A and B are shown apart, each in its own frame.
Chain A
Amino acid sequence: MATNYREMSAAELLSLEPPGWGGALLDGLVVSLQVALLGYAIGIVIGLGGATLKRSGGPVARDLMSVYTTFVRAIPELVLILLAYFALPELLNNVLSVAGFGRIEINGFAAGVLVIGFVQGAYATEVFRGAIASVPVGHIEAAHSFGMHPLRIFHRITIPEMLPAAIPGLSNLWLIATKDTALLAVVGFTELTLAARQASGATKHYFLFLLAAGGLYLMVTLVSAQLFKWLENRVSRGTRYA
């Protein structure tokens, strides 16, 4: 059954029920947000670890972190995605078969989360390093002298005190994460951008669907910016120059 898309109005084309393609776009948006959220979370974990290493690790750890950030900053995400999607599974399978395990497969979702987490980790390291440096040393020393466990100091003193300085950077990183998910379209992973492309290819209404996807991205950006502003106000309660 062929649908006559040519004579449908924009509202019909964008409706959530087929033959409209709005539902496909929203599904794509959800997938994009999932990849972005997971990658962002991984990035924050890497960033916290990396910042701690850069501040208090040995010279080797510090230099290795510099190598990591340099590579991530210089190599396009698109190339990293190809590496994660094509080269990494092959490498893992070679290693696994030597060790006598079966083959594994990395799908588009996992590759996307991995790459975005890897990239975000490098930038988050810098954000957290700067933010942690803004915590007065005296506060941490005071906690030390009370006999607090270092981990406890980290989550009771360091993290709450550095958040006001870290939130603007983190907000920026989240926006980058949501936009970077679009690159997964290149390896054929159906997130929002590729969903829009498929919808426009099927209906021949290229302009409409690509603009609609742009509108969705813009909405995510604007809503996130508001959320982060609220968060920034919240975490900087009680700071002197908030």
Chain B
Amino acid sequence: MPEQTLMKPHRLIMVLVAAVLVLTFAFMMDWAWLPKYSSEIFDALWITIALLVSSIVAGFLLAVPIGLVQVTGPRPLAWLAMSFCTLIRGTPILLQMWVLYYGLGSLFPYMPGLRQSWLWPYLIEAWPYAFVALTLSFAGYEGEVMRGAFKGVPRGELEAAHAIGMHPFTILRRIWLPRAVQRVLPTLGGELILQLKATPLVATIAVVDVYAIFGRIRQETFIIYEPLLMLALIYLILAGGIAFAFRLLENKLPARG
């Protein structure tokens, strides 16, 4: 394992080189467009973060039952959950998003009564499709992880809870679920970053996230390098933030035993 310190001669030189590179980029390149678009970039950044957070929360809530029924549920439900995971993990998320948006979206107008329902105003927007696609994708990947986590909780702990007369739901709430979540926590940070990397796909179905706004900037200014570098930097910062937050969280929580 490399040591986590900067105080080594070669690392200091690398940091210096990086700093020189960043400064060259900052002063030699054309950043005049940045102030003009800054408010739009921040708005779009919010969309990206909102989609990320909401799809992760909703996806995780879905992933818990999906993982659980594969370990303990009745056969048909377990089979259904397994097929769902295979389907999500076996096809590209871009295609899933397009199936929902272009595929289902093109069928909705022909469904009787749907146009008059309260759902219709949402169905003609793009973001619900983006949200659903991201949520289902996260649920599929995380459901598989949760299956392993539920399975990995030592049987003795569940049997002990059973033996002192705990209700099955109490066991799930007080022992099984917390122990499973504790097991997935170390990998969750990585999963969140993967999900972050999936969010720019929503730009392909006309949701204006960070990626989309930089696409517009590139089209309007004809600048080649700077917007792309800025975009990469924004994702680096977001991913770094997630990684940092999870490192803090892991230090706060008791180690798993």
Given known pairs A78-B211, A193-B98, the reply for A90 and B197 (CB within 8 Å) is: no
- Interface residues on chain A, number (Cβ under 8 Å): 44
Give the shortest distance, in Å, between A198 (CB) and chain B (any CB). Answer: 12
B104 within 8 A of A: yes
The residue that B95 contacts in the complex, of A67, A82, A217, with Cβ under 8 A, is A217
A241 within 8 A of B: no
The residue that A63 contacts in the complex, of B14, B107, B231, B235, with Cβ under 8 A, is B14
Which B-chain residue is minimally distant from A220 (CB atoms)? Answer: B90
Chain B residues with CB below 8 A from A185, complex form: 94, 204
The residue that B106 contacts in the complex, of A62, A75, A175, A204, with Cβ under 8 A, is A204
Q: CA of A157 to CA of B95 in the docked complex: distance in angstroms?
A: 42
Q: Is the CB of B232 within 8 A of A59?
A: no
B94, B96, B197, B232, most chain A CB atoms within 10 A: B94
Q: Is the CB of A75 within 8 A of B94?
A: no
Which B-chain residue is minimally distant from A58 (CB atoms)? Answer: B10
Q: CA of A172 to CA of B240 in the docked complex: distance in angstroms?
A: 24
Residues of B88-121 at the interface with A, using a CB-CB cut-off of 8 Å, are 89-96, 98-99, 102-107
Q: How many interface residues does chain B have, given as a range?
A: 35 or more
Flag the segment in A102-110, A145-153, A207-215, A231-239 that touches B.
A207-215
Q: Is the CB of A182 within 8 A of B95?
A: yes
Chain A residues with CB below 8 A from B105, complex form: 206
Q: Is the CB of B106 within 8 A of A76?
A: no
Give the shortest distance, in Å, between B202 (CB) and chain A (any CB). Answer: 11
Given known pairs A74-B236, A86-B228, A218-B87, the reply for A179 and B92 (CB within 8 Å) is: yes
B2 within 8 A of A: yes
Q: Is the CB of B102 within 8 A of A197?
A: yes
Chain A residues touching B, majority SS: helix
B193 within 8 A of A: yes
Chain A residues with CB below 8 A from B256, complex form: none
Q: Is the CB of B106 within 8 A of A218?
A: no
Given known pairs A82-B228, A186-B204, A217-B90, the reply for A206 and B196 (CB within 8 Å) is: no
B8, B105, B231, most chain A CB atoms within 10 A: B231
Q: Is the CB of A73 within 8 A of B193?
A: yes
Residues of A71-124 at the interface with B, using a CB-CB cut-off of 8 Å, are 71, 73-79, 82-83, 86-87, 90-91
B92, B232, B238, most chain A CB atoms within 10 A: B92
Q: Is the CB of A63 within 8 A of B10?
A: yes
B201 within 8 A of A: yes
Residues of A193-208 at the interface with B, using a CB-CB cut-off of 8 Å, are 193, 196-197, 200, 204, 206-207
The residue that A75 contacts in the complex, of B86, B93, B98, B232, with Cβ under 8 A, is B232
Which 8 A-B pairs rank lowest in CB-CB distance, beginning with the nearest? A182-B92, A74-B239, A221-B90, A207-B103, A76-B197, A179-B92, A206-B102, A206-B106
A-B contact pairs, 11 of them (CB 8 A): A63-B10, A64-B14, A73-B193, A75-B235, A76-B200, A79-B211, A175-B89, A181-B92, A206-B102, A217-B90, A218-B91
List 15 additional contacts besides A74-B238, A79-B232; criterion CB under 8 Å: A59-B2, A63-B14, A73-B193, A76-B235, A87-B225, A90-B224, A175-B90, A182-B95, A197-B102, A206-B103, A207-B103, A211-B103, A214-B95, A214-B96, A218-B90
Which residues of A line the B interface, CB within 8 A?
A: 59-60, 62-64, 66-67, 71, 73-79, 82-83, 86-87, 90-91, 175, 179-183, 185-186, 193, 196-197, 200, 204, 206-207, 210-211, 213-214, 217-218, 221-222
